């Protein structure tokens, strides 16, 4: 067991989680806590107080269930099927429409784990760290899969089915154009990466995935008005952060303005490149 985790705390959380119901050994539960702690703090070593507070904040019952399911425990899996599978299908239908059932089935198979490596089943449950409820984590996974499916369909869309592109407007040759575009791209990526995981996911669904406000709200448990308001807030925050990053990179005010002019005149990169995939654990706060 990691020295960052107090043995008495592990024993208490193990009892409170109901892990014994799923025959999940205390040592396996401790592994789940250690992985959650490592995911939260990375290579940093939190002090005893920070470690204790973080572990106490976890959804220990859901974490025990997820790890028991990943280990192939029959009663745990039956409980998940009974309590969460209907929710999984409803969420997928609400967000993915006609494609929802297929998305849910694929996710369900990944949760079960159809492959083994080094004697351990490769279940998606291993990426659940207990920072959010299990239901909230599943909602984030489905939302991300809808975005991924939309991106994949855009990449494989036959060229013949598209409208012919509009002719590019003439522009004055700018010897610094490429430099400004690279600076803008890097600043935008950095600004987006600095956002909260849910804000990134909301932007990715709306701009890269083409998902409308109402389905985004259903996926994230927010009203349509809240989604709209938070998208607007994120846009303003990103704009301000991009300007600041460009100035920090050494661009003068006139050069910053030129970067935004180029973005308006000839957007140089796909939003799917600017809005990276949000990994399941990050979206599962």
Per-residue pLDDT of the chain (285 residues; tens, 9 = 90+): 445 578 999 999 999 999 999 999 999 999 999 999 888 887 777 777 888 899 999 999 999 999 999 988 999 999 998 988 888 888 788 777 777 778 888 888 888 875 656 656 678 899 999 988 898 888 888 877 877 777 666 554 454 444 444 444 434 445 677 788 888 888 888 888 888 888 888 888 887 777 888 888 888 888 888 888 898 888 889 889 999 999 998 888 888 887 877 665 555 455 555 665 433 333 333
State phi, psi for 62 to the nearest 5 degrees: -65, -35
CB of 62 within 8 A of CB of 11?
no
> Who's near 20: CB < 8 A, 6+ residues apart?
14
Residue 193 has which token pair? 């990466």
Tell me which residue of 133, 155, 138 sits closest to 94, measured CA to CA.
138
Phi, psi angle pair for 267, to nearest 5°: -55, 120
Torsion of CA 86, 89, 90, 91, to 10 degrees: 120
Give the integer Cα–Cα distance in Å for 145 and 142: 5
Q: What is the CATH number of domain 171-274?
A: 1.10.10.10
In this predicted structure, what is the pLDDT of residue 266? 52
- Give residue 104's pLDDT: 81
Q: Where in the chain is the domain with CATH 1.10.10.10?
A: 171-274
Task: Supply the DSSP string of 140-175, one letter for each residue.
Answer: HHHHHHHHHHHHHHHHH--GGGSPPPPPPPP----T
- Say what the pLDDT of residue 8 is: 92
In tens, the pLDDT along 71-121 reads 889 999 999 989 888 888 887 887 777 777 788 888 888 888 756 566 566
Which residue from 106, 104, 114 is spatially nearest to 139, judged by alpha carbons?
104
Residue 159 confidence (pLDDT): 44
């Amino acid at each position: 067991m990691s020295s960052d985790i107090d043995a008495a705390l592990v024993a208490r959380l193990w009892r409170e989680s109901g892990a014994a119901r799923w025959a999940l050994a205390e040592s396996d539960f401790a592994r789940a806590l250690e992985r959650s702690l490592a995911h939260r703090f990375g290579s940093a070593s939190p002090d005893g107080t920070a470690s204790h507070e973080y572990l106490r904040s976890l959804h220990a019952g859901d974490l025990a269930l997820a790890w028991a399911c990943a280990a192939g425990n029959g009663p745990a899996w039956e409980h998940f099927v009974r309590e969460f599978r209907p929710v999984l299908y409803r969420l997928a239908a609400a967000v993915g429409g006609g494609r929802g059932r297929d998305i849910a089935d694929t996710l369900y198979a990944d949760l079960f784990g159809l492959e083994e490596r080094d004697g351990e089943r490769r279940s998606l449950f291993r990426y659940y760290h207990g920072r959010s409820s299990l239901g909230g984590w599943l909602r984030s996974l489905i939302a991300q899969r809808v975005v991924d499916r939309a991106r994949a369909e855009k990449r494989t869309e036959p060229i013949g089915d598209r409208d012919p592109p509009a002719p590019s407007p003439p522009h004055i040759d700018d010897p610094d154009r490429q430099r400004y575009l690279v600076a803008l791209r890097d600043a935008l990526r950095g600004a987006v990466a600095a956002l909260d995981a849910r804000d990134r996911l909301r932007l990715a669904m709306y701009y890269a995935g083409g998902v409308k406000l109402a389905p985004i709200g259903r996926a994230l448990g927010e009203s349509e008005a809240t989604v709209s308001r938070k998208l607007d807030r994120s846009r303003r925050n990103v704009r301000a952060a991009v300007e600041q990053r460009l100035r920090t990179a050494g661009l003068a005010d006139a050069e910053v303005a030129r970067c935004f002019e180029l973005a308006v005149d000839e957007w140089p990169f796909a939003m799917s490149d600017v809005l990276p995939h949000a990994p399941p654990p990050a979206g599962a706060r």
